Structure 1
Amino acid sequence: MSCSICTCSASNRTPFYCPTCARSHLYTLRYENARVLLEKESIGKEVEAAVAGNTGVQRRQQQQNANTNANNNTRQASRERNLKWDAQAAQTEQARSSDRIRAMRDCIETLRSDIEQRKAQIRHMKLQQKQRRSDAESANFQLSERRNAALASIQNGIKRTEHLWHSLHNKTAESRIFLCREAAFLYGLRQEVGKREGGRKSEKYYIGGVQIVDLRSLNGASPPQISTALSNISHLLILVSHYLSLRLPAEIILPHRNHAIPTIFTPAASYSSAQDNLSDVYHPYNHSKPGDTRKHRARPLSVEKTLPKLVKEEPATYALFIEGVSLLAWNVSWLCRTQGLNIGSDSWEDICNIGKNMWQLLVSPTTAQNANTTTTTRAISSRETVAVRQKNSNQQQPKTIIQRTKSFPMLGHYSHGTSHSFLGASEGVEFMKTWKLPTPAKIADKLKSALLGEMANAEWELLEEKEWDDLAEGGRDNDAANPASQGGNRRASLTAMTMTKSNSAETVDDISSAKPMRTSLTSTTTTTSNSNNTRPSGTSGWTKLKSKQPGT
């Protein structure tokens, strides 16, 4: 039976939470105590009655019966009260049970619905897994064969693409070769082979009808010849580098508005974002703003005076010009090296012959004529199918060594304009590492030293035997007329004749075909020994110029 107030069941183990439960618990103990006391009292009376006699026994029995009835009445009343409490507690518990049952039913319904949903989800997942297994089995069916077929298809596509790429590159290289050779043909780049005294061959190179002067022979060339040849070479070099998609190490600036002569910059100052006092500069790889300024000074590729006169009057301009032509020659050598043309040796003398290098790069045929005339080797790829221009029958065929090798590319192979055979890639870098040519500064220093040394020794010149004979006859006539002025007139005549010969040598177009200004001491002795009988005493084959005019 539970309490109607705190709804706790009557138990000895549970604590009391209200006075009603405590009193209910004490009532039972009180009843038991009262019952025990009454029984004790009745038993005592029975004992006294037994001792006193029957009267006492009857009296005690009656009294005991009365007490028993009273106890029974009390117990009955207590039982009735307990029954009421029990009924109320049962009703309360029944209501609680009904509520719990209702809640449990609701929970059961919820769980059943969840179970149904889970079962449906499980069935759906099983169907999906079954479908996936079927798809996986279908995908794995002949997987290796299909994978190999797909890989083979991709590889075939890659090979076809590479083949097309290589074919397009070969066509591009052929087009570059055709354009370069056509440009060289239009510029009139050609070679003439002659014979010098002694049976030695003389090779001369022309561009635009002007002979290309070897840089070591600049002292004897006229300013118009030098300027015209260098200008034509600059134009052709820029055009060829544009066709080959190459950026030259030293930037060349062609003549343009407010800038009438070609110039060249050092590699450190080339292709910067500014220009030094240059406006509207045209270059196929660098379009600069006209209002910019450049810190580095451009090196001129043109002169207005002969080099001996220029070095005396304008040494700074002379130094800049020597640096400019050295950079131009270095550009030509670099271009030859990138296209597989190896110069015979890594010396600065071979670099100075610009005409020969340009001719061998652009005009030289692809078949060997004579293996003993030069040490230059052109590396031609086996894929090169460009037809060689047939020269006229009246022109003498040049003789060069042309060898096919796999270690060097063909003309038009490496460039800066295509990803195929890119010169800046690892292959191109490794290819250019084998180039051991000196730097432009070293070439300029050696060229300057050679030219200055030649000018220093040019004060001594060799007179021909006929000139000595004429001079001797004139000296004898002067001695007969005026013996006092014999020595002075002879020196004046020698000086005038030598200067006349020097001036006349500058006016010819083919300066390199003239005789050298310096000869060996042996040849001088041989020449003078044949005319010792007719020459006056005190004269020899060598004479020093008394006053050499600038520019002679």
Structure 2
Amino acid sequence: MIEQARKELEEKRAQVAQRKSDLSSATYGIETRRKNEADKVQHGIKRLDYKGDRTHRDIVEMRASLCKSVARLSGLRMSRKRKKDGTAEDIYVIGPAGGVQIFDLKGLQDAPPDALSASLGLVAQLLVRVASYLGVRLPAEITLPHADYPQATIFQPASSYLGRKVPFPSARHSSTSSPEGSRTLDTQPNLPKPRLLYIDRPLHHLSAQDAPAYSLFIEAVSLLAYDVAWLCRSQGLKEQFDTWEEVSPMGRHLYRLLITQESNTPVRLENPLDKDTSPSGGPKGAETRDSARLGEISHATAHSFLGVAANAQYMGGLTLNPTKLTDDFKAFLLSEQQAQEWDVLSDKEWEDMEKLVAGNPLEAGMSVSDVETGKRPTKTGDGTSPAGDDESSTSTRKKGTSGWTKIKSRAEE
């Protein structure tokens, strides 16, 4: 019995000694081996990041190439236009053959309706294709012409991408112009209302004859300009877009973004086999972003996804919103329309006034008292001005018609 207990005790002692030996062997150089294993994992992560960055770089380059190709195929180009005073102005054209001008918001007042409608439709088509190639979703959804939908339309950002089938609005925008189209829209009041990128008459005529249609059209153009500004901002074009004047030149922004590609700067990737190379997926791990490349940020890839915090903060630099843009643009058009209702003196009339007032009044047949009272000279048959006949020399102009004179609006003619 005692011998058996001693034997079992010896066996347990041998097992404990073996375990101590195994533990000593397992823990021998553990820090070094642990560091080596961590280095292997980090090296594998770097290799995967490098492969992902290289693939994303190829995607970015392909996106930039597709955007440039579709812009050239759409006929987007720059040309110079000579003004009457001899100076040259850069204008941007889109469309085949001669194409049509891409009008700035500032020049919308005098734009021909047919050319303006064609220009807006072509710009809308180009924006939709470029957004598809870049994998981004524009803030204001654009619907291109299709069956039972002959013109391009645009939605408010809050009403975009709801996935509902919306009937085509009336061609004149307002309920009074198309009763049948109005009844179609009124039967489904919860549907979003698209804005037509189309106009069938000069803008000042539309303003005077159909105020609701005018308001919707201005809103549509403002939303289209905002889409252009948002796209340029997301693809790294260095513009602030803080005011509507900066958003106004849509053609110039599209040309710089798609043709000259000012934001498409080459990127060199670090080899993960180099010593002390950190993972090169800067946008994935960065806390802030200061710039972007054409095709880098998108909604279609996990790499440089537009919804992450860094990219969302970068897009937060676009402080101008569609509502403010529309309000400021409408205020500008209103001031332009009011200014056009006032007649402007020609150069010949100004010269005559300078001779009578700023020149020698006596040579012009006026006395000192006439100059002080603002009377015009009346000449006799021999070309001299009669003296003492103040009442006969008084101008026949009515009171309140001196200087600028308000005339009838063109829309009322």
TM-score by length of 2: 0.70
2:272 is equivalent to residue 358 of structure 1: no
Distance, in Å, in 1 between the alignment partners of 2:410 and 2:189 is 42
Aligned to 2:313: 430
**Structure 1 residue 196, shift from structure 2 partner:** 3.5
Distance, in Å, in 1 between the alignment partners of 2:343 and 2:11 is 113
**Structure 1 residue 361, shift from structure 2 partner:** 1.1
Aligned to 1:276: 166
Is residue 462–residue 541 contact of structure 1 (8 Å, CA) maintained in 2?
Answer: no
Q: 1:264 to 1:530 in 2, by over 3 A?
A: farther
What is the DSSP-based 3-state SS (H/G/I as helix, E as strand, rest coil) of the residue aligned with 1:202?
A: strand
Distance, in Å, in 1 between the alignment partners of 2:409 and 2:307 is 56
Q: 1:549 to 1:313 in 2, by over 3 A?
A: closer
Structure in which a larger fraction of residues adopt helix? 1
2:94 is equivalent to residue 191 of structure 1: no
Aligned to 2:93: 206
Identity %: 35
**Structure 1 residue 217, shift from structure 2 partner:** 1.8
Over residues 270-312 of structure 1, what are the superposed CA-to-partner deviations in whole Å (9 max), with x where a residue is unaligned? 1114233269xxxxxxxxxxxx985321111111122112122
Task: State the structure with more CA Rg.
Answer: 1
What is the DSSP-based 3-state SS (H/G/I as helix, E as strand, rest coil) of the residue aligned with 1:359?
A: helix
2:67 is equivalent to residue 242 of structure 1: no
Number of residue pairs matched by the alignment: 333
Distance, in Å, in 1 between the alignment partners of 2:90 and 2:105 is 15
Distance, in Å, in 1 between the alignment partners of 2:356 and 2:122 is 47
Distance, in Å, in 2 between the alignment partners of 1:530 and 1:214 is 40
Is residue 274–residue 294 contact of structure 1 (8 Å, CA) maintained in 2?
Answer: no
Determine which of 412, 429, 440 is the counterpart of 2:295: 412
Amino acid at match of 2:350: T
2:17 is equivalent to residue 155 of structure 1: no
What is the DSSP-based 3-state SS (H/G/I as helix, E as strand, rest coil) of the residue aligned with 1:205?
A: strand
Distance, in Å, in 1 between the alignment partners of 2:155 and 2:233 is 20
What is the DSSP-based 3-state SS (H/G/I as helix, E as strand, rest coil) of the residue aligned with 1:191?
A: strand
Q: 1:362 to 1:119 in 2, by over 3 A?
A: farther
Q: Which runs of 5+ in 2 are unaligned?
A: 170-187, 270-288, 358-363, 365-377, 379-394
Distance, in Å, in 2 between the alignment partners of 1:428 and 1:159 is 22
Aligned to 1:143: 30
Greater relative CO, 1 or 2 (CA 8 Å, sep 6+): 2
Aligned to 1:85: none
2:94 is equivalent to residue 171 of structure 1: no
Q: Which runs of structure 2 are paired with 1:295-334 in the superposition (5 Å)?
A: 295-334=191-230
Amino acid at match of 1:143: I
Amino acid at match of 2:224: L
Aligned to 1:492: none
Is residue 243–residue 325 contact of structure 2 (8 Å, CA) maintained in 1?
Answer: no
Q: Which runs of 5+ in 1 are unaligned?
A: 1-111, 280-291, 367-377, 386-405, 469-523
RMSD: 3.7
Over residues 383-411 of structure 1, what are the superposed CA-to-partner deviations in whole Å (9 max), with x where a residue is unaligned? 189xxxxxxxxxxxxxxxxxxxx831111
Q: Which runs of structure 2 are paired with 1:92-171 in the superposition (5 Å)?
A: 132-171=19-58
Distance, in Å, in 2 between the alignment partners of 1:302 and 1:344 is 29
Over residues 190-247 of structure 1, what are the superposed CA-to-partner deviations in whole Å (9 max), with x where a residue is unaligned? 1123454556541201110110111222221111111111111111101111111111
Aligned to 2:333: 451
Amino acid at match of 1:421: S
Is residue 275–residue 294 contact of structure 1 (8 Å, CA) maintained in 2?
Answer: no
Q: 1:344 to 1:151 in 2, by over 3 A?
A: closer
Is residue 208–residue 411 contact of structure 2 (8 Å, CA) maintained in 1?
Answer: no
Q: 1:530 to 1:204 in 2, by over 3 A?
A: farther
Is residue 252–residue 262 contact of structure 1 (8 Å, CA) maintained in 2?
Answer: yes
